[in-house]
Amino acid sequence: MSSPNSTKGLHVITWGCQMNVYDSARMTDVLAPLGYRPVESPDAADMVILNTCHIRDRAAEKVFSELGRLRLVKRERADQGRDTVIAVAGCVAQAEGEEITRRAPYVDIVLGPQTYHRLPEMVARAARAGGKVIETDFPAEQKFDFLPEAITAQAVPGASAAAPGLTAFLTVQEGCDKFCSFCVVPYTRGAESSRPVASVLAEARHLVARGAREITLLGQNVNAYHGTGPDGSDWSLARLAHALAEIDGLWRIRYTTSHPRDMDDDLIAAHRDLPQLMPFLHLPVQSGSDRMLSAMNRGHTADAYRRLVDRLRAARPDLALSSDFIVGHPGETEADFEATLQLVRDIGFAQAFSFKYSPRPGTPAAGAPLRVAESVADQRLQALQALLREQQAAFNADCVGRRAEVLFTGPGRHPGQIAGRTPWLQPIHVEGGESLIGARALVDIRAAATNSVSGALIGGARIAPSQTSEVDCLQPALEDHRA
Ligand code: SAH
Ligand code: SF4
Ligand code: F3S
C-alpha cells in the first residue's frame, strides 16, 4: 500500500436520495487529509466507496451488480501490484451489514450512514489488519460534530460543472420515527435527530462564502426539524429558515422532504413572509385513499392533505407542489387506486414521483396479506404516471406568460443559450451570454415543454419555439438520485 502522505485516488458512486449526495461529498472531505483526491474512474482509484440506497428492491440489487464489476477491477489492479479498498456505505450497508462481506468477500469496509466521521480510522484499520471492518452501529455522538468543513462541491442535480457550488445541499435533520408500513428509512437511518442551529448556520455561511446562492435544506423529515438554538431553546424549521434568510448573498432557500403531519403554522406562514423561501414544496402523500393511508401508518387522511394544501396555497398562491406516490401497497383495491387518481386531479401537481410498492425485509407491509398482483400494480403505475405527466405539462404551460426570476446555473444546450432554474424548480433555457452564469435575472416565460420551459431575458432575445422541444430532456434530475 502507498505511503500515508502520497496522493491516492478516491472514486465514490452515489445512489439514493439527496442526503446520499450530500454524504458522499462529506466522506470525500473527511478522507482529504489522508491524501485521497476524487478520480473519475474506479481503475484509477485506491479506494472506491459505494454510497447505497435500500429504499426499493432494485436499488439494492444495483449495489451487488456494481460490486461484481469492482471485483474485477480490484483483481486487475492487484495484478499490477496496486491495492484497492472497497467500502460500502449508506442504507444497504446499514441494512445488510455482514451479509455484504459474506456475499462479496472482497469488500473491505461496510459502514452505516451515522459513522462517516470514523472513516479515516476504519481505512487505517483495514490497511493494518488486512481484514474486514464493519461499523453499522448508531453512535451516541453526532457525525456532524466531527466532520470537517464542507469543501467538496456536491454533485447537485441540475447544477452545472460551470458553477458547481452555486446550488448546495445542507443536511439539517436525519432519521425518522414515523415507521410507515412500507419504509426502511427508520431502520437504516435511525431515530430522528436535528443538527444544532449554530452548526447549520455556520455551514450555510461557509457555503455562501464559497459561492452558493441557493441552499436546499435536507432531512428525511426535514420539517420535523427541532434543533437546539444558541439560547438552548428548540428551533423549528420555520425559525431556522428566517435566520438563514438573513445571510447576505443567500438568494434562495428550499427544503426537502417534508411530511404532511409536520407542516406547522409557522412554516406555512414562512412561505408567505420569506421571499427567499422558494414557492415549490415536495410534500409526499403516497395515496389518496384513507384506507391505504391508515394501512401505511401515514397518520393523516386524504382530506387533511387537501386542507393543508389549501392553507399553503392561501399563504403562497403560486406555490407549486410535488409529491411521492406508491401504487400496489398490500390491500390496495381498484377503489383505493381511484381515490389516489382523484386526489391527484383535485390538487394538480407541478411534478411528482411514483413507485410500484416494493416489499422491504423487516418492514410491517412486507408480511401483510392481500398482495397486489404485479400486472395490476404495473397498470396502476402507468395510469398514474400518465396523469402526473399531463399535470406537469399543464403546469409548465400555465407558466407561459409569467415573469420569473431565474438563477442561471450553466450553459444551455445550444451556443448562445444559458440554463437555469425558475422559482418553481423548472429547468429553463434562455438566450444569453455565459457571463450571466451565477447571476439571477428576470425572464419572461414564453414557451413550455413537458419537463422544462424557455423564455427571454427582459429586453433580451426571444427563443424560437422550435428550440423548446429540445430542452425537454433537461428535466429536474432529482429522480437520478432517488434510485
Ligand atoms: N421521508 C420521505 C420519504 C423518503 S423515501 C417521506 O416520508 O415522504 C422516498 C419515497 O420512496 C417515499 O416517499 C415513497 O414514495 C417511496 N418508497 C419508500 N419505500 C418504498 C417501498 N417499499 N416501495 C416503493 N416505494 C417506496
Ligand atoms: Fe419512510 Fe415514512 Fe419516514 Fe418517510 S416518513 S422516511 S416514508 S417511514
Ligand atoms: Fe437511504 Fe435515502 Fe435510499 S435514506 S434508503 S439512501 S432514499
**φ, ψ dihedrals at 104, nearest 5°:** -135, 80
201 and 318 in a common domain: yes
Measure 265 CA to ligand 3 centroid, in angstroms. Answer: 28
216 and 117 in a common domain: no
Ligand 2, atom 5, lies closest to the CA of: 178
pTM listed for this prediction? 0.92
All three cell numbers of 164, joined, read 458547481
157 and 121 in a common domain: no
- Please indicate, yes or no, if residue 106 is contained in any of the structural domains: yes
Compute the Cα dihedral for 94, 357, 171, 33 and give only its sign.
positive
178 and 121 in a common domain: no
Ligand 1, atom 14, lies closest to the CA of: 324
The pLDDT of residue 144: 78
91 and 193 in a common domain: no
User: Which of 81, 112, 140 delimits the end of a domain?
Assistant: 140
- Please indicate, yes or no, if residue 15 is contained in any of the structural domains: yes
Compute the Cα dihedral for 151, 153, 156, 162 and give only its sign.
positive
Q: According to DSSP H, which parts of 164-196 are helical? A: 185-188
Compute the Cα dihedral for 222, 227, 233, 237 and give only its sign.
negative
134 and 155 in a common domain: no
Measure 284 CA to ligand 1 centroid, in angstroms. Answer: 8
412 and 308 in a common domain: no
359 burial (CB, 10 Å; 0-12 / 13-18 / 19+) is middle
User: How many domains, in total, are found in the chain?
Assistant: 3
Bond into 188 cis (ω within 30): no
- CATH code for the domain of 326: 3.80.30.20
The pLDDT of residue 163: 64
Residue closest to 237 by CA, chosen among 209, 250, 218, 252: 218
375 and 343 in a common domain: yes
- The ligand 3 atom at the shortest distance from the C-alpha of residue 91 is 1
Q: Distance (Å, rounded) from C-alpha 50 to C-alpha 423? A: 33
190 and 277 in a common domain: yes
Q: Scanning the structure block, which residue is given the C-alpha cell 420515527?
A: 177
Ligand 1, atom 12, lies closest to the CA of: 324
Measure 220 CA to ligand 2 centroid, in angstroms. Answer: 7
Which residues surround ligand 2 with Cβ inside 6 Å?
A: 176, 178-180, 183, 185-186, 220-221, 259
The pLDDT of residue 137: 85
180 and 269 in a common domain: yes
Q: Distance (Å, rounded) from C-alpha 72 to C-alpha 92? A: 21
- Please indicate, yes or no, if residue 449 is contained in any of the structural domains: yes
Measure 164 CA to ligand 3 centroid, in angstroms. Answer: 23
Q: Is 159 close to ligand 3, i.e. is its CB under 6 Å away?
A: no
Q: Distance (Å, rounded) from C-alpha 423 to C-alpha 405? A: 7
- Please indicate, yes or no, if residue 293 is contained in any of the structural domains: yes
Measure 444 CA to ligand 2 centroid, in angstroms. Answer: 38
Q: Is 91 close to ligand 3, i.e. is its CB under 6 Å away?
A: yes
For the chain, what's the residue count?
483
Which residues surround ligand 1 with Cβ inside 6 Å?
A: 55-56, 182-183, 185, 220-221, 257, 259, 284, 286, 324, 326, 355, 357-358, 360
Residue type, 241: A
pLDDT in tens, the chain (483 residues): 444 558 999 999 999 999 999 999 999 999 999 999 999 999 999 999 999 999 998 877 889 999 999 999 999 999 999 999 999 999 999 999 999 999 999 999 999 999 999 999 999 988 886 778 888 888 777 787 777 777 777 766 666 665 668 999 999 999 999 999 999 999 999 999 999 999 999 999 999 999 999 999 999 999 999 999 999 999 999 999 999 999 999 999 999 999 999 999 999 999 999 999 999 999 999 999 999 999 999 999 999 999 999 999 999 999 999 999 999 999 999 999 999 999 999 999 999 999 999 999 999 999 998 899 999 999 999 999 999 999 999 999 999 999 999 999 999 888 899 999 999 999 999 999 888 999 999 999 999 998 999 999 986 544 433 333 322 222 233 333 333
Q: Distance (Å, rounded) from C-alpha 156 to C-alpha 137? A: 28
Residue type, 190: G
- In a mutational test of the pocket of ligand 1, which residue from 15, 324, 329 has the highest number of ligand atoms less than 8 Å from its CB? 324
- Please indicate, yes or no, if residue 471 is contained in any of the structural domains: no
Q: Distance (Å, rounded) from C-alpha 221 to C-alpha 257? A: 6
Q: DSSP letter for 34, please.
A: G
Measure 450 CA to ligand 1 centroid, in angstroms. Answer: 24
399 in a labelled binding site: no
Give the range of the structural domain holding residue 333, as residue numbers without chain letter.
145-395
User: Which of 100, 121, 140 delimits the end of a domain?
Assistant: 140
- Please indicate, yes or no, if residue 262 is contained in any of the structural domains: yes
473 in a labelled binding site: no
Number of other CB atoms surrounding residue 303 within 10 Å: 12
- In a mutational test of the pocket of ligand 3, which residue from 188, 192, 326 has the highest number of ligand atoms less than 8 Å from its CB? 188
- Please indicate, yes or no, if residue 479 is contained in any of the structural domains: no
User: Which of 76, 110, 140 delimits the end of a domain?
Assistant: 140
Residue closest to 170 by CA, chosen among 195, 136, 190: 195
187 and 310 in a common domain: yes
Q: 440, 408 in Cβ contact below 8 A? A: yes
344 and 201 in a common domain: yes
Element (H, E) at 337: helix 334-347
- In a mutational test of the pocket of ligand 2, which residue from 185, 221, 263 has the highest number of ligand atoms less than 8 Å from its CB? 185
Element (H, E) at 430: strand 427-431
- CATH code for the domain of 444: 2.40.50.140
- Please indicate, yes or no, if residue 165 is contained in any of the structural domains: yes
